A and B are shown apart, each in its own frame.
Chain A
Amino acid sequence: MRIIVTSIVVAVLLATAAGAVFSMAQKPVYQARAMASVRIDDPGENLVGPDWSGLHKITPNSTKVSHAERP
């Protein structure tokens, strides 16, 4: 049983270290792609709205997303 616990601890440590390296090396696109003349806004957290199906449509007379129509 000790080997199982050891393996889990090592897995968590490796994953934590990888996550820390990632967070130092990578930036969100709105930071990485911004430049002196172009500022990209933080897009927020929920980019898809309440309908996560990816199948919603834009209604013809509105720019708002309609969740009623689905193919």
Chain B
Amino acid sequence: MPLRSKVRALGFVLLIVFAGVWPLLLESRAQDAAGEAPNPTAQSVTEQQLLQQRRRIEGRITIPDPNAATLEQPQGRTYQAFHERVLPWIGGVAILGMLVALAAFYLIRGPITLDRPLTGTRIKRFVWIERFAHWLTAASFIILAVTGLNYVFGKRLLMPLMAPEAFATWSQWAKYMHNAFPWPFMLGVLMMIGLWLRDNLPDRYDIEWLRQFGGFFSHRHPPAGRFNAGQKLIFWSVALGGLTLIGSGLVMLFPFSSAGIGGTQVAQYVHATAAMVLVAIILAHIYIGTIGMPGAVDAMVSGDVDLAWVSEHHRVWFEEEGARTADGPQLGQGAVPAE
């Protein structure tokens, strides 16, 4: 065999041997790098795989609190993002937006006054139990609103103005009040629903009242029964919003008794959002009941309103009451029956 052929044959053999040995060398080097032992940690299920499969990471515990077994729950981060980023924007836009709108309305329209002078004769508009239910709810709601807003805005707005210890003490007491005052609030809301539900059902005057926007800009007084469409919207906001706050609040007042961690977080979404919207609506209610409409607050303080006031703002109810009690037993001494 010529020398050239021998060299070719030798090269071919070496190539085959090298091709067979090379993968073994690579595996050996990999085992050397890993301490020459298999790595169970690298081959076991990862945290990310567990999260993708079960949506949470749980373990086994020996203490009687089952919630402590949950080590990681990504929905908590979603809730945190809502509470820390989305909710302050919802509250800020709703409350500040309403304040700006009311200020603009006051500057443009001014107070809604009467076309005729007061008569000096007053008619009973709300009896004591109605006013009691209103103010019981109002007092409770103001405390709940202030202490509830502290959850969201306190650390942003109050804490920079006071020492951290003072803010912590205030927040602790605010939490106590937020847990205690729902009970008079519940009583008040249920009383108002029972007392005023019938008078707040839709009637034929509501569409016209809404179409004229209560006559706020046309300086007219569209006909209305005991409650006009705007007051009915406030009533249903308080009734439905109040029941929403009560239901979601009870879920949180008794943690994990009726819902798990996911249900509790949903309750917080609902509770916080409904509360922000209701605070904004009540600001409008407070405005129109005080400086927005002179004479309106008398109905809830003394219970009596002037005949001129009720004949313009609640003409239909005024006529119904006049027809129903032609002798005027509901009027004060010396009062005249409604025409």
Contacts and interface: CB of A to CB of B under 8 A. Distances in A.
Pair from one complex:
yes
Contacts of A11: 136, 139-140, 143, 181, 184, 188
A15 B301 contact: no
A37 B80 CA distance: 34
A39 B82 CA distance: 34
A11 B168 CA distance: 25
A3 B132 contact: yes
A14 B138 CA distance: 14
A46 B168 contact: yes
Interface stretch (B1-9, B28-36, B60-68, B283-291): B60-68
B102 to A, nearest CB: 23
Contacts of A4: 135, 301
B132 A33 contact: no
A14 B176 contact: no
B177 A15 contact: yes
B52 to A, nearest CB: 22
Contacts of B180: 15-16, 18-19, 22
Interface string B119-132: 00000000010011
Interface residues of A, number: 28
Interface string A3-45: 1101110110011111100100000010001010110100001
B164 A50 contact: yes
Nearest to B167: A52
Given A6-B132, A7-B139, A53 B155 contact: yes
Given A35-B63, A38-B62, A3 B181 contact: no
A13 to B, nearest CB: 8
Interface string B180-202: 11111001100000000000000
A40 B68 CA distance: 12
B164 A29 contact: no
B182 to A, nearest CB: 8
Contacts of B303: 3
Contacts of A3: 128, 131-132, 135, 301, 303
A54 interface: yes
A54 B183 CA distance: 30
Interface string B37-75: 000000000000000000000000011110010000000
Nearest to A3: B131
Contact of A33 (B63, B168, B172): B63
Nearest to A50: B164
B151 to A, nearest CB: 11
B139 A14 contact: no
The 4 closest A-B pairs by CB, nearest first: A7-B135, A15-B180, A19-B180, A11-B184
Given A10-B136, A35-B63, A55-B84, 17 more contacts: A3-B301, A6-B135, A8-B135, A11-B136, A11-B139, A11-B140, A14-B187, A15-B181, A16-B180, A17-B183, A18-B180, A18-B182, A22-B179, A33-B65, A38-B63, A40-B63, A53-B155
